[in-house]
Amino acid sequence: MIILLVEDCQFHRGLISHILIREGHALLIAETGEQGIEMLEHHVVDYVLTDKDMHVLDGFAVIIAANKLKPTPKIWLMSNVLKDGDTKRALEFGAHKVVDKDHLLRELKQAGLIQRSGQVKT
């Protein structure tokens, strides 16, 4: 599985990427919405996991760009803080799932993207 992770927070980017790579997924990593959209123009991916709140181009812009692709990847919008209307807006723009980052590991397991506990050994 090829997954594009678009996340501006270094902590979340490192944690999520560690788990997905450990599970054997090929991972492309973008630190900004702009980088994520550029990667989508050059790579075919199965999933896009994008943060909602980023400077300049946010996760909604990434969703719109990803939905122009053929084949269209499965798109998840992730956030620590979902405001009223965010979920509806994301789904209308073409996201397949909106996930609170506090529940991301559980959602990844339910989707079959990870099998292990998700715990990171330090």
Q: Residue ranges of the domains in the chain? A: 2-110
User: 10-residue block means of pLDDT along the chain (122 residues)?
Assistant: 96 96 96 97 97 94 95 95 91 96 93 73 40
Count of CB atoms within 10 A of residue 115's CB?
Answer: 10
Question: Would you state the pLDDT for residue 82?
Answer: 85
Collapsing DSSP to helix, strand or coil, 90 comes out as helix
Question: Would you state the pLDDT for residue 115?
Answer: 86
Check: CATH 3.40.50.2300 for 2-110? yes
Calpha distance 59→54 (Å, rounded) = 7
**Model-wide pTM > 0.85:** yes
Collapsing DSSP to helix, strand or coil, 52 comes out as coil
Query: Tokens 């079959």 identify what position?
Result: 112
